[in-house]
């Protein structure tokens, strides 16, 4: 498995619009994209920093898992995402090494990336996402 870089760090926030003041006005990091996923009941915004990004995530509905995390006081740093060259190969290798997976197969995530999450039970409590970027390079 080849990990290419930290693709993004996911941060759960109560309100993306309110969070923009910190990220844009105070820290001076311009937002490069916002995406809404009705299917996953979330909204995310992307802030590039060097070759990586910070991904702010908020729930769209009261029953969204991200809304519930905020209500439970579990907002803030949520996960780290590594870009991999071949996600299918990475998942097979990790499974062979006994690392438990939340996603047995890759699925489509933001901006057309193929993504999968590892089970925090096997990663010392850290939620890790793997992402294979689209081959056409169209990713923001």
pLDDT in tens, 62-102: 999 999 999 999 999 999 999 999 999 999 999 999 999 99
- Do residues 117 and 106 touch, judged by C-beta distance below 8 A? no
Give the list of residues 6+ apart from residue 36 with CB closer than 8 angstroms, or none.
42, 43, 60
Answer whether 0.75 is exceeded by the pTM.
yes
Rounded Cα distance, 67 and 57, in Å: 10
| Full set of structural domains in the chain with CATH | 3-132 (3.10.180.10)
Tokens of 61: 């509905």
Task: pLDDT band for 137, please (50, 70, 90 cuts).
Answer: low
Task: pLDDT band for 132, please (50, 70, 90 cuts).
Answer: very high
Q: What is the mean pLDDT of residues 37-45?
A: 94
Task: Give backbone dihedrals phi and psi of 115, rounded to 5 degrees, phi first.
Answer: -130, 160
- Do residues 37 and 31 touch, judged by C-beta distance below 8 A? no
Question: How many C-beta atoms lie closer than 10 Å to residue 138's C-beta?
Answer: 9
Q: What is the mean pLDDT of residues 39-67?
A: 96
């Amino acid at each position: 498995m080849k990990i290419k870089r930290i693709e993004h760090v996911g941060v759960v926030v109560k309100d993306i619009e309110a969070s923009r003041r910190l990220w844009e006005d105070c820290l001076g990091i311009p937002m490069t994209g916002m995406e809404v996923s009705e299917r996953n009941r979330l909204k995310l915004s992307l802030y590039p920093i060097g070759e990586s990004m910070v991904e702010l995530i908020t729930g769209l509905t009261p029953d969204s898992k991200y809304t519930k995390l905020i209500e439970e006081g579990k907002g803030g740093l949520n996960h780290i995402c590594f870009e991999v060259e071949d996600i299918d190969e990475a998942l097979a290798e990790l499974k062979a090494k006994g690392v438990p997976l939340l996603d047995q197969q890759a699925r489509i995530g933001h901006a057309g990336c193929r993504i999968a999450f590892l089970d925090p039970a096997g990663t010392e409590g850290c939620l890790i996402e793997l992402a294979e970027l689209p081959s056409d390079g169209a990713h923001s």
